[in-house]
Amino acid sequence: MHIVLDETAMTAAGQGNVLASRLIHRAHAEADWFLYAPSCALVEADRDRPGTAEHLAALPGIIVLDLDLPAALAVARHKTWASAHCLHTSQPTAERPDGAIVATTDPKRWEGEPVRVLDLTP
C-alpha cells in the first residue's frame, strides 16, 4: 500500500487525528505499507503548524521525498507546490506501478485530479 500525505493530512497527524495516526502506525509496523511525505507539502504543513515537519520527518514509517528534477518540473505546472508535489508523487512509477493514494482532510481539493483519495476527516 502506497499512500501520500498531503499537507492537510500532515497537519492533522500533528493534531492527533486518529486516522492519520493509524496510517503512520501501519507504515511503521507493516512491511508492505509505505507512507510518503513530499517535501513541498511538508513545508506547507509546517507553515500551518510549526514543528510538523520535524515531527513527521523523525518518524520511522515516513518517507520524505525530495524535490528532484521530475518533481520540480511538475511543480512548475501547478498552482501550489504542495498539491503539485503530492500529485506527482501519487502517479505510477516503477516502484509504485499502481500509483499511490493521497490521504487528505480536504478531499474536495482533489476533485478533477487523476488521483485516488483517502479521506481522513474524522
Mean pLDDT of the chain: 93
Can you give the pLDDT at residue 47? 96
**pLDDT, tens only, 28-44:** 999 999 999 999 999 99
3-class DSSP assignment, residue 37: strand
Can you give the pLDDT at residue 107? 97
- Which residues have C-beta within 8 Å of that of residue 117, sequence separation ≥ 6? 101, 102, 103, 104, 107, 110
Chain centroid, CA 122 distance in Å: 18
Residue 121 has pLDDT above 80, yes or no: yes
User: Quick one: cell of 33?
Assistant: 505499507
**pLDDT, tens only, 41-79:** 999 999 999 999 999 999 989 999 998 888 888 877 777
- pTM as predicted: 0.93
Can you give the pLDDT at residue 68? 87
Residue 20 has pLDDT above 80, yes or no: yes
